[in-house]
Amino acid sequence: MSTNIEVAAQAATIAADGQWPLWEVFTQSEQAAPHEHAGSLHAVDAEQAIQNARDVYARRGGVISLWVVPAGAITASSASDAGPLFDPGADKAYRHPQFYKAPRGVRVF
Amino acid sequence: MVPLPTAPVNALFEYLQRLGDDRLILGHRMSEWCGHGPILEEDIATANVALDLIGQATMLLRLAGEVEGKGRDEDALAYWREAVEFRNCLLVEQPNGDFGHTVVRQFLFDVHAVLLLDGLTRSTHDGLAGIAAKSLKEAKYHVRHSGDWMLKLGDGTDESHRRVQRSLDDLWRFTPELFVTDAIDREMISAGIAPDPAVLQEQWQTIVRDVIERATLQHPGEAAPPASARGARQGAHSEHLGHLLAEMQIVARSHPGATW
Amino acid sequence: MTQPRAIDATAEDPAAVSAFEARIANGESIEPKDWMPERYRKQLIRMMSQHAHSEIVGMLPEGNWITRAPSLRRKVGLIAKVQDEGGHGLYIYCGVETLGVDRSEVVAQLLDGRAKYSSIFNYPTLSWADMGVIGWLVDGAAIVNQTVLAKASYGPYARAMIRICKEENFHKRQGYEIVATLAAGTPAQKAMVQDAVNRFWWPSLMMFGPSDTDSPNSAELMRWRVKRRTNDELRQRFVNLTVPQAAAVGLTLPDPALRYDAATENWEFGEIDWSEFHQVVKGNGPCNRERLETRRAAERDGAWVREAAMAHAEKQRAKDRSAAA
């Protein structure tokens, strides 16, 4: 079983040159807003990543919550896959309300 | 209606200078790191601590000037007093040393600051209680940061362990001064303006001992400090303060009456 | 998200290159995992790391005056500004890392003298007025540059620039406020600020880099929309913005040739001493050695701290693993 600890440990593996591991920082600007990617930083562990994220990305205020993720733990889709991954979603008109008709004068919502 | 504090004005003025000068001098020391830290992220963190402390000093010295009632503002107090007129403790004026030395000094101060500011939020002096409430949040972060570094350096490599142990042993002699209770403190306590330093001391020792242990460091022991390691609250400073002030005050004093 | 890219630069598919250039021409944003010509990647690494180095070295001339700031208000303003420069260096280094290069690698290039940084930071800061003039002129010039870079074709660079531009607006205003205060102050203060303008005006104009006719990388960077305006265009924009600001506070810019051309609506300015520029870039400026030595010292003195933090984290992870087993 792959625990979170293992994932974090692998993701935060030290580089050969002693460089601290890279973390990605996500900030939430207000309640109910999504966390958005703010940038990255280096830190040796999660506690330090949170502290550094606070000082680097929240020092001007406007942040109410932080996520930090070891950069290596993020799997990103590949640009060459963009066609098969995303284009098919772009032409499914039946997923959108405008596709469906309602009798004139009736409010459906 | 909150009853007005009954402590004499000069005692309150004196006390506010102690609080303000601790933060001004330590903030100044931390600002010396700006651009020279061990890693970029920490450079930014250290600057934040310096900014918080100088911000707190500004509020406290402004209030001190108002209490004094002679028309001195925070800058008049920061830039135009002589070293012997400063009321900060010895711990904060000690030079930065290496990064570990700075961490130890900051941690010993931060624990004290959190306990003191927490007590001051219940001060009968509204202005001071307000400043304390704002500063307490900052101090709680500072101790989280310096405490984390205590663990990392104490229980890091052999070299880091050796370095912070030496700094802890060296700076330890300045800590009893944080809890000295003199006539000024007694007036503050009886007016309900400030908490009793003796009460803070016990909590401080518990917290500091716990972190020292978790950092795998050796506790320096409770031996009484040498007589030389106190008296700064009355103006008997180390030689370091004069040099710090010479640098801090040079521009302002070269242009009397100028505005900046 | 740093995936080292395995691209054989000698065998780039011409079709891929032209598809890439079509994307650029179409105004699209290039992201880290997108295919890009090796040369584009190299140019970005060079330009972004130079930019980041400039921010980091740029902390030093102003950091020089933090401990002497003449009021508490000025002290916090200056600390916050120098701190921001560290932050900006950090954002851009992280941008470089998306191209598969470690920060420590590009920092090493700075420290061993292989990488360049903005020549302006090799001039000494001699008086408090320099803090005002650097904020006004140097940050003013940087903002002109960076506003355009915020539209650069490489997504991580553009995003870092947008964040930086937002933050830097306070730098210029802080600087100009210091300048205006000194210019309206005592005769000694006014002399101090005029002297600072005299020293920093020409180096500020040099910040935009060599003239277009003499800028080896410009054409390519423009074609790939890493740069969006030429050095000379940006320099002219800066002069046009700055001349009225100097007049408003009664300061003289040290250029007898400065005159307004109503036809072009430009402020024409005198000949820049490019030999000085090239000397400073080559390492012969007044403070090149000091700046690099200061950065090296910080790196050297911090080594045991960085090692200790890493060792501590490794110990903790080992403990966590054995507890989980």
Residues of chain C with pLDDT under 70: 1-11
Q: What mean pLDDT value characterizes chain B?
A: 94
Which residues of chain C lie closer than 8 angstroms to B58, CB-CB? Answer: 72-73, 76
Distance from the Cα of C295 to chain B's closest Cα (Å) equals: 7
- What six digits make up the tokens of A20? 């601290």
Look at residue A12 in the predicted model and tell me its pLDDT. Answer: 52
State whether residue C83 is helix, strand or coil.
helix
Residue B239 pLDDT grade (very low, low, confident, very high; cuts 50, 70, 90):
very high
* Structure ipTM: 0.95
Instruction: Give A95→chain C minimum CA distance, Å.
Output: 28
Residues 6+ apart with CB under 8 A from B87: B14, B17, B18, B21, B232, B233, B235
Query: Could you give the number of structural domains in chain B?
Result: 1
What CA–CA distance (Å, rounded) separates B94 from A54? 28
C66–B163 CB contact, under 8 Å: no
What pLDDT is stored for residue C77 in this prediction?
Answer: 97
CB C266 within 8 A of CB C236: yes
Which CATH number fits the domain that encloses residue B61? 1.20.1260.10
Check CB contact under 8 Å for C83 and B248.
no
Could B44 and A43 be called an inter-chain contact, meaning their C-beta atoms sit closer than 8 Å?
Answer: no
pLDDT, residue B230, reads: 72
Shortest alpha-carbon distance between residue A30 and chain C (Å) = 18
By C-alpha distance, which of B236, B232, B134 is closest to B177?
B232
- What pLDDT sits at residue C66? 98
**Can you read off the two tokens belonging to residue B189?**
């306590």
Residues of A in contact with C33 (CB under 8 A): 76-79
Cβ burial of A76 (10 Å; 0-12, 13-18, 19+) is: exposed
Quick check: is B249 in a domain?
A: yes
Q: How far is C156 from chain B (nearest CA, A)?
A: 19
B34:C82 CB<8 A: yes
What is the distance between the alpha carbons of residues B195 and B189, in angstroms, rounded to a whole number? 6
The minimum CA-CA distance between C48 and chain B, rounded to whole Å, is 17
Chain C residues in contact with A71 by the CB 8 A cut-off are 1-2
Q: Is residue B85 part of a domain?
A: yes
Q: Does residue B3 fall inside a structural domain?
A: no
Touching check for C13 and chain A: CB below 8 Å?
Answer: no
Q: Is B259 within 8 Å of C312 when comparing Cβ atoms?
A: no
First to last CA, chain C: 29
* C73 CB-contact burial (10 Å; exposed 0-12 / middle 13-18 / buried 19+): middle
One-letter amino acid of A76: A
Torsion angle, alpha carbons of B239, B245, B246, B248, to 10: 150
Q: Flag if C63 and B34 touch (Cβ within 8 Å).
A: yes
DSSP 8-class letter at C69: -
pLDDT surpasses 50 at B1: no
Please compute Rg for chain C using Cα positions. Answer: 22
* Phi, psi (degrees; rounded to nearest 5) at B225: -75, 155
What is the rounded CA–CA span in Å between residue A75 and residue C155?
Answer: 18
- Give me the helices (H) in chain B, please: 9-31, 40-68, 74-80, 90-93, 99-120, 126-154, 158-171, 183-190, 197-214, 239-254
| Nearest-Cα residue of chain B relative to residue A42 | B41
Contact B62, B74 (CB under 8 A): yes
Tens-digit pLDDT profile for residues A44-86: 999 999 999 999 999 999 999 999 999 999 998 887 888 899 9
Position B228 pLDDT exceeds 80: no
CB atoms B43 and C86 under 8 Å: yes
C79 to B159: CB separation less than 8 angstroms, yes or no? no
> Which of A42, A44, A55 has the CB atom closest to B45's CB atom?
A55
Q: Is A76 on the interface with C (CB under 8 A)?
A: yes
Q: Give the Cα separation of B68 and B16 in Å (integer).
A: 10
CB count within 10 Å of CB C215 equals: 17
What's domain A4-76's architecture? Answer: Roll (3.10)
3-state secondary structure of C88: helix
Q: What is the domain range of residue B203?
A: 9-254
CB < 8 Å from C in window 122-151 of B: 151
* Inside any domain, residue B148: yes
- In degrees, rounded to 5, the angle at the alpha carbon of residue B142 between the alpha carbons of residues B129 and A32 is 85
**Exposure of A101 in the CB half-sphere (CA atoms within 13 A):** 2
For chain A, the domains span: 4-76
- The answer to whether position B183 is within a domain reads yes
- Report the pLDDT value the prediction gives residue B195, as an integer from 0 to 100: 97
Instruction: Tell me whether residues A5 and C1 touch, CB distance under 8 A.
Output: no
What is the distance between the alpha carbons of residues C183 and B76, in angstroms, rounded to a whole number? 22
CA distance C265 to C237: 11
Q: Does B260 fall in a domain?
A: no
Tell whether B237 is covered by a domain: yes
Residue B93 lies in a domain: yes
Q: Which of residues 99-128 of C touch B (CB under 8 A)?
A: 128
Going by the DSSP 8-state scheme, the letter that residue C30 receives in this structure is B
